[in-house]
Structures are given as C-alpha cells and as structure tokens.
Amino acid sequence: MRIPRGVWAIVKEAARHVLRRPVVGVAAAARTADGRWLLIRRTDTGEWALPGGTLEWGESLRSALPRELAEEAGIDRVQLGGVSGVYSAPWRDQRFHAVTIVVRATVGEPSRPPSNPAEIAGVGLFADSELPPRLAHGMTQMLEDARREGSTWE
C-alpha cells in the first residue's frame, strides 16, 4: 500500500507545526553470524531499509532497538554493538527531521513475520554482493558507513 505524495505533504506540514523538534530514531546495521545484512522492505516506498524506528516516550535507545527488530523483522536474538553513526541532516528523511542513531548488531535469523504488515512488506538477508544499490529514507549512506566499520556523525 503506497501513500499518495499529497497525503505525505499534509502529514509532514502538520508534524512540522506540532512537533517543531527533531524526532529521535534508532536503526540497526545488523548482520547475522555468517555476515549477511538484515534489511526490511518498507510498504510506503517499496524500498529496502535498515530496521529501526522512533524512540517511544520513556524508552531508552538500548531497549528500543531490540523492540524494533522484533516488530519489524521477527528477530528474537540480538547482540548490540557500538554506534556506527549519528545522522541529523534535516533533508535526510523527507517525512520529518530525524536524528537517527545507527547501532551495529549481530542478530539471529528472523523467526516470524513482521508484526505490522501495513508498514513492513518483507524481510531479507543480503550478502555484501547482493545489497540493493539504494535504501529508503536516506539510509544508503548509513549502510555504507556501517560497512566501512568506522564511526560517523553529522
């Protein structure tokens, strides 16, 4: 299900007036023990993305990421690593101004489907040579930075 561009424009404008602050999000640069990257296919764009989401009220980053991995990718086994990058450019995500913290993680394979099929169309595990050339919502650079194993912030 794709949301029409006009609807996104209205939601974005309303959020700009209501929120007036960047949204904090967390995403996983997650790999399985055999080195495959975990990506989710979003229903809003049809593109692949890093799994993750926004922080809920009263939630820590450390608890948000396993929750998002469980909801979006059916992942039960998560070992969190270090921070790969912090991304804050206002243009990066066309939906809203997000500050996204990307965390490295080692994960088990998905054990069940995503819990919200209206948001997530699928889950995939990709070898380096199989990765899609572009990810949704400005995440292409996030994955490239994670693959280089450095630490980035903007």
Query: What DSSP line would sit under 31-52, residue for residue?
Result: E-TTSPEEEEEETTTS-EE-SE
Rounded Cα gap, residues 71 and 66, in angstroms: 9
Beta bridge partners of 23: 98
Catalytic annotation, residues: 119
What confidence score (pLDDT) does residue 6 get? 65
Q: pLDDT for 58-99, tens place per residue?
A: 999 999 999 999 999 999 999 999 999 999 888 777 777 789
Domain count, the chain: 1
Q: How confident is the model over 112-132, as a mean pLDDT?
A: 94
CATH number at residue 35: 3.90.79.10
Q: What is the pLDDT of residues 6-53, one digit of tens each?
A: 676 777 767 665 667 788 899 999 999 999 999 999 998 999 999 999
Query: Residue 58 is part of which domain span?
Result: 5-153
pTM of the predicted protein model: 0.84
Least Cα distance to 50 among 61, 35, 39 occurs for 39
Question: What would the two tokens of residue 150 be?
Answer: 């450095």
Residue 102 confidence (pLDDT): 97
